[in-house]
Amino acid sequence: MENKERRVYKVVLTGGPCGGKTTGQSRLCTFFENLGWKVFRVPETATVLLSGGIKFSDLSEEEEAQECHCQKRCAGVYRHRQGYKFQENLLKTMLQIENTFFELGESCSRDCLIICDRGAMDASAFISRDKWERMMSANGWNSVELRDNRYNQIVHLVSAANGAEDFYSTEDHACRSETVVLARELDYNAAAAWVGHPYFDVIDNSTDFETKICRMIASVCQKLGIDTGDRLTTNSRKRKFLVRGPLPDDSVFPPFQDFDVVHNYLQTSTPSMQARLRKRGQKGHWSYIHTIRKPKMRGQVVEVKTQLTHRDYINMLAQRDDSHFTIFKRRRCFLDNNQYFQLDIYREPCHPRCIGLILLETYSALDNGALEKCLPKFLTLVEEVTGNPAYSMFNLSLREEWNKTTKFCRAFQGDDKEKIKINNNESPHEGREVNGGV
């Protein structure tokens, strides 16, 4: 009998007021328990502390922060002052509570899902940047560890105040008093705090609430490579667009996070499967991911992603496939028009086909041209290239010219019968003719 590796998956549910976080947590828990997983739910730390009798009037006003990040429970706290030390101790308490659940998960005999009601980076949204940096330095913390390496996935449920205003209400919540305008601001702050996490899903209000919750559950299942059949049918998918350089000045972008990213493809036992390593970091701090991309199941590509230690990453590099170049990118992550975007700027050394290549990616359930209205207006978009094999990173990294190799992959995203005309003297973003696959 095949030994199946046990999994521990840590997901953060965050979002603004009246976004469906409480319902989502309950539904996600039930769904995975029905799959046979053990599920732990980490409580919201601010709620734990405030339920113990702490009042904002008790806190020193000598050092000022903007507000507590317990948006749902703390009525009227937006203009309150609170001590820097309280915010620091709140974060320390959160990390310790989470660590307790994380250790339980590691000792669990079954697959284990750990749902965190908010996470470490939520605190950064509600304290000044200077104080946040001081807190990080004083405690030996850094954003890559607290944001990227600590949790496997972040799911942000957008407040009803942003896109479903008719359903935004405070009547049934004794502890909620935020206006629609304030709720939108809190929602944006909560999302912006997580910009840069490698697996950050924004679940907006473009569908009804039931479908919204299904999209949330489906996003977690998709990252885990769990086949849900048609139980969570959703039209949310990855969309990719070619961008013409040069890029505008940094000041034109909304708040962003930049990362250095290095991809290496690995040898596999079958040509129908792809495996790659990713190294991603800021300021000398790195996270490592191993991805296996399997053939289509029920018409969908399945990707299984595993977080690695530095040692595991170095060991697995020995399996590098020499028929591929190492891919180097600068990845810029940002929020715009309630959509989460990743902008990949390919860097040398690389194959000439990648020189100057810039691609914009997002996940969205919007259709019928609705997404196009939400795309960043400050970027020059050439065309949509979703599913176009000429813009697959696997094909872009091939050392051989495409008309001389048997490794060119046409079928992972597009139609198995699609055709492509290849001109070796042109980069794909400089006029190569491509038919189908979009």
Q: What is the mean pLDDT of the chain?
A: 81
Is 80 in contact with 60 (CB distance < 8 Å)? no
pLDDT score recorded for residue 428: 55
| Strand spans (E) along 230-374 | 237-244, 256-265, 274-282, 285-297, 300-308, 327-336, 339-347, 358-364
433 pLDDT exceeds 60? no
164 pLDDT exceeds 90? no
Give one word for 145, left, alpha or beta, with left for phi > 0 and alpha for psi -120 to 50.
Answer: alpha
pLDDT, tens digit, for every residue of 187-199? Answer: 888 899 999 999 9
In the structure, what pLDDT confidence band is assigned to residue 231 with cuts at 50, 70 and 90?
Answer: low
pLDDT score recorded for residue 292: 86
pLDDT score recorded for residue 189: 87
175 pLDDT exceeds 70? no
Q: The tokens of 308 are what?
A: 């690695």
pLDDT, tens digit, for every residue of 1-21? Answer: 445 678 999 999 999 888 888
What share of the chain has pLDDT > 70, as a percent?
Answer: 79
0.95 exceeded by pTM: no
In the structure, what pLDDT confidence band is assigned to residue 57 with cuts at 50, 70 and 90?
Answer: low
Higher pLDDT, 307 or 38: 38
Helix, strand, coil share of the chain (percent; to 5): 30, 25, 40
Is 359 in contact with 376 (CB distance < 8 Å)? no
d(CA 387, CA 431): 17
Higher pLDDT, 132 or 127: 132
Is 376 in contact with 336 (CB distance < 8 Å)? yes
In the structure, what pLDDT confidence band is assigned to residue 180 with cuts at 50, 70 and 90?
Answer: confident
Q: The tokens of 431 are what?
A: 């006029």
For residue 48, the one-letter residue type is V
What mean pLDDT comes out for the span 231-257?
87
40 pLDDT exceeds 90? yes
In the structure, what pLDDT confidence band is assigned to residue 308 with cuts at 50, 70 and 90?
Answer: confident
370 pLDDT exceeds 90? no
